[in-house]
Structure 1
């Protein structure tokens, strides 16, 4: 029986003798078996520097097992002779539990017929080498078809491999933090990408994607994903749920077919770098004004001229009961959810608009556009056109005729 983990062997007599303790944990392979010549059960700790390993007798030789953090892949074996603590970490939790159960049986001296153990032999060099954490594949010829990806990978790049879909073997790499699948032919993203709980960077540049699923937006990516590159694809719109990826810092949407940016983009409070150049966005969502960016690039979008005096009036007087109720719920910040309200009403509340006065409106509003200087939301702004402009039209909503009239007065004064 074997277990891969990090090991630190600490002598309990060292501090009292004035000697230095052990160094940092080393990657090791633990083997449980019998010593040659019919010896009792032993624990063999082998590392890359010391492949033959160090043997420790186990029969009636364990003073105590510390397993409080076994779910985190940590445990400590305190031996009687020699007086050392074998500290284990970064082990697979389920494999560690099985290994510790076998160690207990070896300590009790269980009969060999019921607890058979093979003779200990030193591991091969490849078995104790430091696990591979990075892998780069830059051509279809080099793509592994007959062998698996190393389970320990934290960074994986597979570009220019003509992949039509994401390899399901990649989705089993639970330690993955960076996944680069740029310059392929991927058309659809599997929902199970959301199972990569440590994924921080996802690069899907230059593929054939047409959407980014709501399931991914509701997955564990909400808490992990910090950088997302969807540039050079065929995406027309992003779902409202996209703005639940609230840990995003870098977002690239260049060279798509976007006709609008996410409605609730202001919820991306951590976002610092946004690039959505060369799309088909005519105006920015009202939530855009809530962003606080370091760098912004919206070059090459067909921004429309604002029409402050030609509003889209969706106002009904008197307001409907639904509108009154929705405004009260939002303005007084009354908690709501699918356990309280029907799901379609929750969806409507999530899509509410905010008036210039700060109050909410649902379906009854006046909509218009006005120019916004992009320097008000970003420190560095790439020019939006070849004329040197840094302004773009942004949607504005008004909850009443009074608010709209006040806006027109301010607009008239600014023109003067």
Structure 2
């Protein structure tokens, strides 16, 4: 039986001589097993011994058989991967930390059985022998690959990886071996030739940062927006790709803080972008955005960059009228569901009606509308939604056109009157 953790050996006699231990642990492997030395007497050859292997001592520091040789167990913080085993001879405290709590419990149970002198045959004891360097060294948590020749083709990625960068490797697709790294928090696949994202990438439950800058992506899958990314993904870089639009479901990525969309072919933002309540840094420079969605004004950003977009000149007096009089029964029903916040789902109404309701518009008066509305573009100062704003154009402007919707002619007229008075 083995346990990987950090170990600190504290000699209880040191304070007697006015000395102190160094106070920090060393990466080690603890093993519980039988010695393989044929010179040992039979009484010791079959007994359980505790051995501590470190990178400097791969042969291991052996403590004699554990039977009746443990003074006390300290397990108050075992759920945090910490415990201490106090040996009688030598007078040493074996302090364990940064261990897997489940493995630590199993190991301590085996040590306790060995101490109590019970039959050791049922215990998974090893034949003690020196370990390889790879078995003792600290698990690798970061790997950076910046050329194709360094990319591993025959060896698997360490399962302990938390940060992986594989840039300039000319990858045409995401390696399936990467999708097995469940501890991965940061994945950088920038400067490759990736065209599609496999849905399995959404199974990386710990992933917080995803960098896909400078690839050949044309879409971002709806499936990924409904994956574990909803609760984990905080930073997403999709700049320098060929994306024209993001799906409506993109706004389910509620934990997003950083979003980079520079140098794409975006013609619109997600309709409900205002639902990204945690978003603080948004960059979408050098795209093809003509307008901003009405939901954009709900954002609260620290930094915003929309430089170099093809924003159109708004004209409030030339609206897009989609108003039908009288309203259809579908429109009346939809407005009632939205205004009274009546729950809906595919199990209660047809799926296509759910999609229509998800794309509803909010009028200036606060009420909702579905397909009967008046649409107009107005100018918005971007400082209303962001603390720091990069100039929209070379003329020094910080304003951009934003779409507004009105549920009736009355609401449009009132807004027009207010705008006319404010411009006087």
The aligned runs of 1:252-291 (5 Å cut-off) are 252-291=260-299
Mapped to 2, the partners of 1:66 and 1:330 lie a distance apart of 58
Cα 1:90–1:80 shift into 2, 3 Å: closer
Higher mean Cα deviation, 280-289 or 129-138? 129-138
Pick aligned residue for 2:418 from 395, 401, 410: 410
Cα 1:308–1:7 shift into 2, 3 Å: same
Pick aligned residue for 1:318 from 311, 316, 326: 326
Q: Is the 8 A contact 1:153 1:176 kept in 2?
A: yes
- Per the alignment, residue 214 of structure 1 pairs with 222
Deviation track 1:349-395 (CA, whole Å, cap 9, x = no partner) reads: 22221111122222222111111111221222222223332221111
- Per the alignment, residue 375 of structure 1 pairs with 383
Q: Is the 8 A contact 2:31 2:126 kept in 1?
A: no
- Per the alignment, residue 195 of structure 1 pairs with 203
Three-state SS of the structure 2 residue aligned to 1:119 is strand
Higher mean Cα deviation, 188-197 or 20-29? 20-29
- Per the alignment, residue 74 of structure 1 pairs with 81
- Per the alignment, residue 134 of structure 1 pairs with 142
State TM-score, norm by structure 1: 0.87
Mapped to 1, the partners of 2:363 and 2:64 lie a distance apart of 73
- Per the alignment, residue 163 of structure 1 pairs with 171
Q: Is the 8 A contact 1:65 1:75 kept in 2?
A: no
- Per the alignment, residue 2 of structure 1 pairs with 2
Report how far residue 282 of structure 1 moved. 1.0
Three-state SS of the structure 2 residue aligned to 1:262 is coil
Deviation track 1:387-410 (CA, whole Å, cap 9, x = no partner) reads: 332221111011111111111212
- Per the alignment, residue 27 of structure 1 pairs with 27
Gaps of 5+ in 2: none
Mapped to 1, the partners of 2:178 and 2:269 lie a distance apart of 30
Number of aligned pairs?
A: 415
Report how far residue 305 of structure 1 moved. 1.7
Q: Is the 8 A contact 1:32 1:43 kept in 2?
A: yes
- Per the alignment, residue 306 of structure 1 pairs with 314
Higher mean Cα deviation, 228-237 or 57-66? 57-66
Cα 1:413–1:138 shift into 2, 3 Å: same
Cα 1:67–1:151 shift into 2, 3 Å: farther
Mapped to 1, the partners of 2:284 and 2:317 lie a distance apart of 28
Q: Is the 8 A contact 1:76 1:85 kept in 2?
A: no
Higher mean Cα deviation, 216-225 or 179-188? 216-225
Higher mean Cα deviation, 370-379 or 44-53? 44-53
Mapped to 2, the partners of 1:129 and 1:179 lie a distance apart of 23
RMSD, aligned CA: 3.2
Mapped to 2, the partners of 1:116 and 1:380 lie a distance apart of 61
Three-state SS of the structure 2 residue aligned to 1:257 is coil
Mapped to 2, the partners of 1:21 and 1:319 lie a distance apart of 81
Deviation track 1:321-341 (CA, whole Å, cap 9, x = no partner) reads: 333333233323334444544
Q: Is the 8 A contact 1:53 1:122 kept in 2?
A: no
Deviation track 1:76-106 (CA, whole Å, cap 9, x = no partner) reads: 4756746877565544566556656655665
Mapped to 2, the partners of 1:99 and 1:314 lie a distance apart of 71
Gaps of 5+ in 1: none
The aligned runs of 1:203-242 (5 Å cut-off) are 203-242=211-250
Cα 1:22–1:357 shift into 2, 3 Å: farther
Deviation track 1:276-298 (CA, whole Å, cap 9, x = no partner) reads: 11111111111111112222111
Cα 1:400–1:31 shift into 2, 3 Å: same
Cα 1:340–1:77 shift into 2, 3 Å: farther
Three-state SS of the structure 2 residue aligned to 1:372 is strand
Higher mean Cα deviation, 84-93 or 218-227? 84-93
Q: Is the 8 A contact 1:73 1:96 kept in 2?
A: no
Mapped to 2, the partners of 1:174 and 1:271 lie a distance apart of 25
Three-state SS of the structure 1 residue aligned to 2:287 is coil
Q: Is the 8 A contact 1:265 1:287 kept in 2?
A: yes
Deviation track 1:192-236 (CA, whole Å, cap 9, x = no partner) reads: 222222222111000011111122212222222221110011111
Cα 1:408–1:142 shift into 2, 3 Å: same
State TM-score, norm by structure 2: 0.85
- Per the alignment, residue 150 of structure 1 pairs with 158
Mapped to 2, the partners of 1:263 and 1:14 lie a distance apart of 68
- Per the alignment, residue 40 of structure 1 pairs with 47
Cα 1:374–1:90 shift into 2, 3 Å: same
Three-state SS of the structure 2 residue aligned to 1:127 is helix
